Amino acid sequence: MVADGKLRVGLIFGGRSGEHEISLMSARFVLSMLNPQRYDVVQVGITPEGNWLTGANALESMQIGQRAGLESVVLLPDPRWAGLQVIQKSEQGSMLKLLTTLDVVFPVLHGTFGEDGSLQGLLEMAEVAYVGAGVLGSAVGMDKGVFLDVMLANHIPVPEGMVVLRSELTENMEAIITRAEKMAVYPLFVKPANLGSSVGVSKCSSRSDLLEGILEAARYDRRILIQRGINAREIEVSVLGNEDPQASVPGEVVPSREFYSYQAKYIDSNSELRIPAPIPPATAELARELAVKAFKAIDCQGMARVDFFLDRISGELYLNELNTIPGFTGISMYPKLWEASGLPNEELVERLIGLALERKSDNEKTIRRYMG
């Protein structure tokens, strides 16, 4: 905490992921919601190559591709070296010098190396409070194949799916396609198991489509999920909390394209968000109940956006996925749903930071050494 009583918040964005650009968009939104009267914000951008950079205008610099003037920093896993260390270079070599301590980290890193438990593990070892799910919740929420199994174990309805490995494709592609066709009729959806923002996702209506979709998904992950397609409406619920999570009103996404692709989310502006979702009250309540149940099932904390499919024919509700670091852009459902539920954006960000500090305090009650 700085001298004037403000909390020092490390806002981390960018990252080594196909969702790098979306992370920058989310970071700009979160930064605008951090009250400068309450928070001293340290901007930390991670380049696609993995270099951690900081500076007063790190976000703007990374958005325009200008890295001059930014300093390279690291966060060490050793809690005795608490805070961001700047890398200073001289003729004698490189050395580390403490740049600043951090009261809490607000990671806005979508996808791999940010949403999958990697960064969370580093922050746990460094004993730094951070917003969002822990290592377990992050990892399970990120891997759509493992998440599917956990949902089934908790009797939460999900679309049928199967996971294949990139290493299997060369010799077993024909067998994989045959197994997928036996699982369900077309259309089938193919997606990288560990990515979001619809990157690498394909809707496949034929065997040739499926082949192309599998190869496309394999570019982004070694694990590929193939799922039954559902003629469905897309319903989303925001969840907030730690031990006693709460669910927002549900919203509906009406994609401008055949499904809610990357282009429909971020490129064209014709997708429609209906808040609250025009669905029966019983369906809305079920979505909220299942969202909280899924949140607890993976030991999620802080926040999550839970996505559902509502079958247009049967009216059945299927849980699709849970995003532990949902989008925070101006068109993102997570903050919009909470705003519609009576929680303004600035208060939402404050709540998230409060939940991070609450969890850190709870973790400090855990004994790390057996005394006998």
User: Which pLDDT tens digit goes with each residue over 338-368?
Assistant: 999 999 999 999 999 999 999 999 999 998 8
Q: Which of 224, 45, 90 is nearest to 144 (CA)?
A: 224
| pLDDT > 90 in the chain, percent | 83
Q: Which residue has the tokens 């209506």?
A: 205
Q: Which two tokens stand for residue 208?
A: 């040739």
Q: Over the stretch 59-104, which tens digit does the pLDDT of each residue have?
A: 999 999 888 889 999 999 999 888 999 988 877 788 899 999 999 9
The amino acid that residue 128 corresponds to is V
> pLDDT-based confidence at 261, cuts 50/70/90?
very low
CB 119 within 8 A of CB 77: no
Q: Is pLDDT at 258 greater than 80 in this prediction? A: no
The pLDDT of residue 194 is 87
pLDDT higher for 151 or 331? 151
What is the C-alpha to C-alpha distance for residues 335 and 224, in angstroms, rounded to an integer?
30
Q: Which of 300, 364, 343, 329 is nearest to 136 (CA)?
A: 300
Q: Which of 36, 30, 99 is nearest to 59 (CA)?
A: 30
**pLDDT mean over 50-66:** 94
Q: Over the stretch 130-184, which tens digit does the pLDDT of each residue have?
A: 999 999 999 999 999 999 999 999 999 999 999 999 999 988 999 999 999 999 9
Extents of the domains making up the chain = 7-130, 141-157+230-362, 161-228
Q: Which CATH number fits domain 141-157+230-362: 3.30.470.20, 3.30.390.30, 2.30.38.10, 3.40.50.300?
A: 3.30.470.20
Q: Is pLDDT at 286 greater than 50 in this prediction? A: yes
CB 53 within 8 A of CB 45: yes
pTM for the whole structure: 0.92
Q: Which of 85, 76, 132, 141 is nearest to 104 (CA)?
A: 132
Q: Over the stretch 5-38, which tens digit does the pLDDT of each residue have?
A: 899 999 999 999 888 999 999 999 999 999 999 9
> pLDDT-based confidence at 291, cuts 50/70/90?
very high
Q: What is the CA radius of gyration of the chain?
A: 21
> pLDDT-based confidence at 316, cuts 50/70/90?
very high
Cβ atoms within 10 Å, residue 106 = 25
The pLDDT of residue 371 is 75
The pLDDT of residue 32 is 96
Taking the CA of residue 179 as centre, how many other CA atoms within 13 Å lie in the half-sphere pointing to its CB?
14
CATH class of the domain at 7-130: alpha beta
What is the C-alpha to C-alpha distance for residues 123 and 103, in angstroms, rounded to an integer?
12
Q: Which homologous superfamily does the CATH classification assign to the domain defined by 161-228?
A: ATP-grasp fold, A domain (3.30.1490.20)
Q: Which two tokens stand for residue 146?
A: 């493992």
